[in-house]
Amino acid sequence: MKGVEGSTRPAYAAYHDWFRQQDPDRLTKKSLDAEAFFRRTGITFNVYGQAEAQERLIPFDLVPRILAQREWSKLAKGIEQRVAAINAFLHDIYNRQEILRAGRVPKDLIANNEAFLPQMVGFSPPGQVYTHIVGTDIVRTGEGDFFVLEDNARTPSGVSYMLENRETMLQMFPELFSKIKVQPVSDYPKNLRRSLAACAPAGAGPKPTIAVLTPGIYNSAYFEHSFLADQMGAELVEGHDLRVVDGHIAMRTTQGYKQIDVLYRRVDDEFLDPLTFNPDSMLGVPGIMDIYRAGNITIANAPGSGIADDKAIYSYMPDIVEFYTGEKAILKNVETWRCGEPEALKYVLDNLKDLVVKEVHGSGGYGMLVGPAASKKELEAFREKLVAKPGNYIAQPTLSLSTVPIFCESELAPRHVDLRPFVLVSPQGINIVPGGLTRVALTEGSLVVNSSQGGGTKDTWVLED
Amino acid sequence: MQLSITHTTRYTYDEPVHYALQKVRLIPRDSSQQRIADWHVEINGGQREVSYHDQHGNVTDLVSADIGVTEITITASGRVETFDTAGVLGQVYGAVPLWHYCQPTPLTKPGEGIVALAQDLKGAGDQLAALHALSAKIAETVKYGTGQTYAATDAEAALAGGQGVCQDHAHILIAAARSAGVPARYVSGYLMMDDRVDQDATHAWAEAHVAHLGWVGFDVSNGQCPDERYVRIAVGRDYREAAPISGLRHGAGDESMIVSLQVQQ
Amino acid sequence: MLGKTAGGLYWMFRYLERAENIARLIEAGFRIALTRSTDAEGEWKSVVTTAGVEAAYAQKYESYTSAHVVDYLLRDTSNPSSVLSVIAFARDNARVVRTALTTEVWEAVNETWMTLTSLLAHPVRETDLPAMLNTIRQQSALVRGALHGTMLRNDIYDFSRIGTFIERSDNTARILDVKYYTLLPHTSFVGSSLDNVQWETVLRSVSAHRSFRWLGESEMTAAAIADFLILDRRLPRSLSFCTSQIVSNLDYLAEDYGERHPCHDMAEALHSRLRHRTIDSIFEEGLHEFITAFIRDNNALGMQIESDFRFSG
C-alpha cells in the first residue's frame, strides 16, 4: 500500500478507506473462514520430498494487491512483446536458427541444453504456436519499475489459485466490489478453451476435442489440473487413458475410443512419450510424438518450449526481444551473471553474500541460494557447488522488491511479493488476464515467494479506469 | 549396381497382443550413393497409423498391432541402384544443424577410453586420414563378435569389453569423432556380403563430417568405406534414433523376433 | 465419459458403501459383546470373517478381542478394508472423477475424509465407539444425500448407483454366508435365546431389526429372516432389491448409449434368480449353495461391468 517513498499508492486509496472502517476481529474471522473454505473444497497442493504425500493449503491473504489500469497496461504491453518474441525464438531455434547464425545467442547455450529437443527440429506446430500458456514472473522495485524474473514457458501453474482467490474475495467481501470497480478474471477458462481450440490441427473440424493430461492425483498441482478441465468442460485424462487409434491420439470412454485434437498437457517433456523420450515413463502416451509430428494433434505447450525459459537463456532475453521484434524490450531483465563465464564466476564468488544464485534448470525455488539470508556455512557449501559446476548456475543481485500489505495479527504489515500474469497465445493473438497470481513471502523480510517454500497468495486487482 | 532386397521382420508373441506400437524406419531415400527404383513396406498383423519425416529426414512410420494378433510381420522390399562414391555422401544437409551431430547421446557418451582413442583425431591436419586410422584402430581393439554386447551397450562399455558388433563399432567411432569435435552420426542400412544372398542382419556404420567433402561413411566392422554394396536406410545420432524398428508393447507373455534379409544383385 | 471416470465413480461408491457396512458390522458385534460376553469372541470372529479379512487379521492378532477387532476394522491402514483405508480410497477416486461430481458431492466426500481421518487418528475408546460409528453412518448419509439432491440423472449417476448396489448385495450375501447355519430350519430351536440373539445380529448388521418388526407380517423365524434379507423388495439391503437396482441402472445406460453388453444379460440372470422365488425353494436348493453362487456371480457381474464399460485399458 505504501509507495517507495512511504506514501500510500493512489490505487489503494479506496481500499484503504474501506479497510479503516473494518473491525479487525471480523477480518481475522474472515481469514479463518477462507482457510476452512479452501480445505473443504480441496484447494490444496502436495509437497514433494516429505515422508507422506501430504496435502497442504497455500496460505491466503485477504488484502488484495492493487494495480492501476495505467500501470497494468504498460506491464501488459511489455509482456505481450516478450511472449511474442519467445514464440518467434522457439520457431527459429527449431528451424533456421538465424539467431545462432547471427551470433546473438551462443550456440553452446542451445547445444548443451537439456531443454532443447532435437525431435522438434524441422517441424512447425499447428498454428506455429509453441507457448500456448505462459506465466511471466514479474517483480517491482520502484514506481513503474517492473522486472521480469522468469519466463515460465513450459507448464506454468497457479492460475487456479488466481481464480479461486477472486472467488473467495467476492464471497467474503461483496460490498468491496460494489465500491471499487475491479477488472474481472473469470473469463480465463473460457478464453483458455477458445485459445487452445484455435490452435487445433488443420484436420480437427469446427469443434475440436480438448483434454487436459495430468500425471494423476498425487501430482502437486492435481487440483489445478482438475479445476481447469472442469472449468473448460474438457476431459481430464492420464497417460493410461490414451492410445493411438486411426492415426490420432484417442481417449478410452465408456463407449469406445474418442479422438483428441488438442492436449493441454501438464506432464514434463521427458515423460511425455516413452517411445521417443524416457522409455521408463508411465505418465506419458507412447507414440504421441509421432502423431504430433505427423500433424494430427496439438500439444500445449509444445515439447521443447523449455529452451525459452531456461535461466541461462534468460540473460539473453533483451537481445532476443530486439532480434525478433525490432524493438527495445519494454520490460527490464534483472542483471544476471552467467557463472559459466570465468569473469562472472569470479564476481559471483567475491560477492556471494549479496547475490541470489539459481540453478539454471531448477524451478520452484529449490537449489537456490539467497546470499543475504544465508548462514556462513550455507555460503561455503554453495561456494563449493558453484566452483564444481559453474555452468549450472546464474546469479542475480537481490532486488529491493516493493512490498505490499498483508493482514497479520489484526493489522497490516509489509511483505515482499511477485506477480505472475497468465498469457494465452493463439494464431488469433495474445490474451493476458488482467492481474494474475500475486505470491507473497509471508516471513518478514523474506524474498522467497514459492508456495513450496512457505509463500502465500493474494487476490490481484487491476482497477477499471 | 542393381540390388534386390527383401527384408522381413517377424514378431511372434506367446499371448495375443493387447496393444503394441512399432516405430519403423525402413524407407531409403535417394542420394549420391543410391537411387530407389522401387520400394514398399508391407505390414501384416498391424496397420500404419501415421507416416512423417523425423528431424534427420528419415521417413518414419508408426505402426500399431491389430488387437489380439500373435504375430506381426513387416516386410520392406524393392530394388535400389547403387553407386560407388568411395564412401562420400557429400555436402547434403537437412533441418538438423551440423553441431547437433557433435552432441553426445547416452549411447555415445565418451569415457576415458573414448577420449584416449580420439587423441590423434583431435586437430589432425588430414582429417580424412585420421578418421581412417581411427576406424582401423577400433577394428583392431574391438574384435567383431556377437554375444558380448546388446542393443543398449554404450560406446565406452563396448570399447572396454574389447568385442562387439557393427552397432558397437559405429558407436565407438561416432563417440570418438565427436569428442574430437568432428560431427558424426549413425547409419542403419543393408550390406550385400559377396559370398551369400541371405544376410544375418541389417547393418550399421558411421558417417563423419569432413571439411570440404561433407559426410563420409566408415564401416569399421568391414574395414572399408561404404561402396555400391551398401544401401542407407536411416540416420541418427545413435542407434536409438536410427534403428529400423523399435517398439513398445503392453501385456504379458514373451516376444520373439526373427529377421530374414536377402540382398542380391 | 472416460472409462476411467466410470470406474472411479463405481469404486468411489463401492468404498463409501463398504465403510458404512463395516461400521454396521462393528455395531452388531459390539452389541453382542456388551449383552452376551460369553459369545463375544466367536461373534467378533464372524464379524472379521464377514468383512473378508480373516487371514490377514489372524496373522496380526491371536485372539478376537473387542479392542483388536474394532481397531483393525476401523483404523488399521494395513487392512485395505478398514474404514480409514476405504475412506481414503473413496476420496482418491473422488479426486480422479472430480470433474464429474457436483461441488456438493465432492465437498461431502472430502469432508467425510477429513472428519474420519481426524477422528480415527487415535484408537477409539469403547465409550466413544457408538458416537464414532454414528458419525460414519451420518457422513455416508451426507454423501448419499448430496448425490441424490444435486447430481444429474445420467451415466455418472448410473455408475455411482451400480457401484453402491454391487457392494451392498455382496455385503448382505456375506453376512448370510457367515450366518447361514443359524438360519437353517433344522438347526434352529424355535424360541431359544441363542437363535434370537443370532437373528437379531443378522438383522442389525443390515440395519433391518426395526423394519422387520414394523412389517410384523411374520414371526421371527429363520425362514422369515432369510426371506426378508434375500427376497423382500422393500428392504433396501436385500439381495432382490440390490439386483433390481443394478438391472435398472444398467438399463438406463443401455438406453443412454444405445448399446447392450454381456453385463446386461448377466444382471438380469442374477435378478431373475430372486424374482418369483419362495424362500422354501431356496432352502430346498440349499441356502449355503445359493449364497455361495450368488456371491460368485455378483462378483463376476462387477468384473463384466468393468470390462464392458472399459474402466481400464
Longest dimension (CA), chain A: 65
What's the CATH number where A355 sits? 3.30.1490.270
Q: B74, B70, B73: which is closest to B252 by C-alpha? A: B70
Non-local CB neighbours of A312 within 8 Å, separated by 6+ positions: A109, A113, A338, A340, A360, A394
CA distance C192 to A184: 74
What end-to-end distance do the CA atoms of chain C give, in Å?
Answer: 14
8 Å CB contact between A370 and A356: yes
B249 and B236 housed in the same domain: no
Output the pLDDT for position A53: 45
Distance from CA of A218 to the nearest CA of C (A): 9
What 3-state class would DSSP assign to A277?
coil
Q: A145, A155, A248: which is closest to A204 by C-alpha? A: A248
B254 and B147 housed in the same domain: no
Q: Which residues in chain B are contacts of A246 at CB distance < 8 A? A: 49
Residue A18 reports pLDDT greater than 70: yes
B74 and B102 housed in the same domain: no
Distance from CA of A225 to the nearest CA of C (A): 10
A372 and A406 housed in the same domain: no
* Residue ranges making up the domain that contains A213: 10-334+399-462
**H-type helices in A200-353, by residue range?**
222-232, 288-293, 311-314, 317-325, 342-350
C-alpha cell at C16: 463409501
Taking all residues of chain A, what is their mean pLDDT, rounded to a whole number? 90
What's the CATH number where B135 sits? 3.10.620.30
A411 and A452 housed in the same domain: yes
A303 and A386 housed in the same domain: no
A165 is a domain residue: yes
B116 and B226 housed in the same domain: yes
Rg of the Cα atoms in chain C: 19
CB contacts < 8 A (A, C): 61
A2 is a domain residue: no
Could you identify the residue written with the cell 563465464?
Answer: A341
A143 and A159 housed in the same domain: yes
Percentage, residues of chain A above pLDDT 90: 68
What 3-state class would DSSP assign to A321?
helix
The dihedral of CA C198, C204, C206, C211: what is its sign? Answer: positive
B143 and B76 housed in the same domain: no
Q: List C-alpha distances in Å: A167 to A34, A40, A170, A172, A464.
A: 11, 15, 5, 9, 18
8 Å CB contact between A433 and A421: yes
Residue A365 reports pLDDT greater than 70: no
| A256–C99 C-beta distance less than 8 A | no
8 Å CB contact between A339 and A345: yes
For residue B198, list its beta bridge partners.
Answer: B262
Q: Which residues in chain B are contacts of A296 at CB distance < 8 A? A: 50
Non-local CB neighbours of A458 within 8 Å, separated by 6+ positions: A60, A61, A62, A63, A64, A65, A165, A404, A406, A417, A438, A440
B143 and B204 housed in the same domain: yes
A302 is a domain residue: yes
8 Å CB contact between B263 and B3: yes
A39 and A55 housed in the same domain: yes
Output the pLDDT for position A3: 44
B14 and B106 housed in the same domain: no
A18 and A85 housed in the same domain: yes
Q: Which residues in chain A are contacts of C312 at CB distance < 8 A? A: 240
A 376-435 residues with CB < 8 A to C = none
Q: List C-alpha distances in Å: B178 to A388, B54, B139, C235.
A: 24, 22, 18, 78
A83 and A164 housed in the same domain: yes
Q: Within 13 Å, how many C-alpha atoms sit on residue B180's CB side? A: 26
- B66-86 pLDDT, tens digit per residue, is 999 999 999 999 999 999 999
Q: List C-alpha distances in Å: A27 to A17, A317, A409, A417.
A: 15, 43, 10, 21
The DSSP bridge pattern shows strands A337-338 and A429-432 to be unpaired
Q: A87, A104, A221, A235: which is closest to A155 by C-alpha? A: A221
| C4–A235 C-beta distance less than 8 A | no
Residue A88 reports pLDDT greater than 80: yes
A4 is a domain residue: no
Distance from CA of A263 to the nearest CA of B (A): 18
- A237-276 pLDDT, tens digit per residue, is 999 999 999 999 999 999 999 999 999 999 999 999 999 9
> What DSSP line would sit under C270-312, residue for residue?
HHHTTTT--HHHHHHH-HHHHHHHHHHHHHHHHHHHHHHTTS-
What 3-state class would DSSP assign to B26?
strand
Q: Indicate the number of domains in chain A.
A: 2
Output the pLDDT for position A50: 45
B75 and B168 housed in the same domain: no
A379 is a domain residue: yes
The C-alpha torsion from C266 through C272 and C274 to C275, rounded to 10°, is: 150
Residues of chain C with pLDDT under 70: 37-38, 185-195, 217-218
CA distance B209 to B226: 15
ipTM strictly over 0.90?
Answer: yes
Output the pLDDT for position C195: 65
Which of A164, A254, A259, A282 to substitute to test the interface with C, most C CBs within 10 Å? Answer: A254
Chains that touch B (3 or more CB pairs under 8 A): A
Q: What is the mean pLDDT of residues B241-262?
A: 88
B15 and B144 housed in the same domain: no
A252 touches chain B (CB under 8 A): no
| A121–B100 C-beta distance less than 8 A | yes
Distance from CA of C310 to the nearest CA of A (A): 6
Output the pLDDT for position C189: 52
B102 touches chain A (CB under 8 A): yes
A117 is a domain residue: yes
A46 and A77 housed in the same domain: yes
CA distance C147 to C141: 10
B 236-255 residues with CB < 8 A to A = 237, 246-248
Output the pLDDT for position C186: 59
Q: Indicate the number of domains in chain B.
A: 2
Whether the bond into A301 is cis, omega within 30 of 0:
yes
Cα A155–chain centre separation:
7
A336 touches chain B (CB under 8 A): no
Output the pLDDT for position A51: 39
A289 and A323 housed in the same domain: yes
CA distance C53 to C43: 15
- A31-68 pLDDT, tens digit per residue, is 888 888 888 877 776 655 443 445 778 889 999 999 99
B117 and B56 housed in the same domain: no
Output the pLDDT for position C197: 75
Q: E strand or H helix at C206, and its extent?
A: none
A357 and A426 housed in the same domain: no
**Partner residue opposite B55 with nearest CB, options A122, A279, A290:** A122
Output the pLDDT for position C187: 55
| B62–A291 C-beta distance less than 8 A | yes
- A151-198 pLDDT, tens digit per residue, is 999 989 899 999 999 999 999 999 999 999 999 999 999 999 999 999
Domain edge (last residue) among A398, A418, A444: A398
B159 and B182 housed in the same domain: yes
A196 is a domain residue: yes
A270 touches chain B (CB under 8 A): no
Output the pLDDT for position A182: 96
Q: Which residues in chain A are contacts of C252 at CB distance < 8 A? A: none
A260 touches chain C (CB under 8 A): no
The number of residues making up chain A comes to 465
DSSP assignment, residue A2?
B
What's the CATH number where B67 sits? 2.60.40.2250
> Could you tell me which chain A residue has the CA closest to the CA of C106?
A41
Output the pLDDT for position B129: 95
Among A47-61, A81-95, B48-62, C259-273, the range scoring the smallest mean pLDDT is: A47-61
CA distance A195 to A83: 15
B27 and B124 housed in the same domain: no
A391 and A324 housed in the same domain: no
CB atoms within 10 A of CB B75: 16
- A403-433 pLDDT, tens digit per residue, is 889 998 888 889 999 999 999 999 999 999 9
**Partner residue opposite C310 with nearest CB, options A229, A230, A254:** A254
Output the pLDDT for position C181: 74
Output the pLDDT for position A362: 60
A147 and A158 housed in the same domain: yes
The dihedral of CA A323, A328, A332, A337: what is its sign? Answer: positive
| C4–A254 C-beta distance less than 8 A | no
8 Å CB contact between A451 and A457: yes
> What DSSP line would sit under A401-426, residue for residue?
--EEEEEETTEEEEEEEEEE-EEEEE
Q: A70, A63, A80: which is closest to A144 by C-alpha? A: A70
One-letter amino acid for residue C6 of the chain: A
8 Å CB contact between A390 and A345: yes
Q: Which residues in chain A are contacts of C313 at CB distance < 8 A? A: 240-241, 243, 252
Higher pLDDT, A70 or A142: A70
Q: What is the mean pLDDT of residues A354-373?
A: 78
Non-local CB neighbours of A48 within 8 Å, separated by 6+ positions: A220, A452
CA distance B44 to B55: 27
* Residue ranges making up the domain that contains B253: 2-82+245-264
Q: A278, A446, A459: which is closest to A374 by C-alpha? A: A446
